Amino acid sequence: MERHEREARQPRLRRRAQGELEAQVLAVLHGAAGPVNAAWVQERIGGDLAYTTVMTILTRLLAKGAVMRERVGRSFVWRSAADEAGLAALRMRKVLDGERDRGAVLASFVTTLSPADERMLRGLLGAGGAGG
């Protein structure tokens, strides 16, 4: 059997989207007991993910403010910058920051809230939003 025939018959590994990889890396960091190195993250994600890919994702997450790093010796250790609620809020903020008409986006968002969520938001705004 020729090489290209063997390669054609072997199952192809599914390519993950960037957002999916970021979510997996963040999930691994959330499960860590403390700061970890990139090799530890790579091992926990498993599969065929290259070390350089893990480093790229960690660097992108650092630029987004989702992770923090600290130099230990000649390398870095990484940890999540926030809990899951904080990371969801960061993603929401990034979406909002990318829109021209923030007021329209916020108004549209609020009109889709359930009554219970709207009451919760009003309570949060009343409790901490008055001071600016």
Report the topology of domain 3-80. Answer: Arc Repressor Mutant, subunit A (1.10.10)
Domain ranges of the chain: 3-80, 84-128
pTM for this prediction: 0.62
Q: Over the stretch 57-105, which tens digit does the pLDDT of each residue have?
A: 999 999 988 899 999 999 999 999 988 787 788 778 878 888 999 999 9
Helices 18-31 and 51-63 pack at an angle, to 10 degrees, of 90
Q: What is the 3-state secondary structure (H, E, C) of the chain?
A: CCHHHHHHHCCCCCCCCHHHHHHHHHHHHHHCCCCECHHHHHHHHCCCCCHHHHHHHHHHHHHCCCEEEEEECCEEEEEECCCHHHHHHHHHHHHHHCCCCHHHHHHHHHHCCCHHHHHHHHHHHHHHCCCC
Return mean pLDDT, the chain. 85
Residue 12 has pLDDT above 90, yes or no: no
pLDDT at 20 over 50: yes
pLDDT at 85: 84
pLDDT over 90 (residue 120)? yes
Residue 132 has pLDDT above 50, yes or no: no
Residue for token pair 């993950």:
16
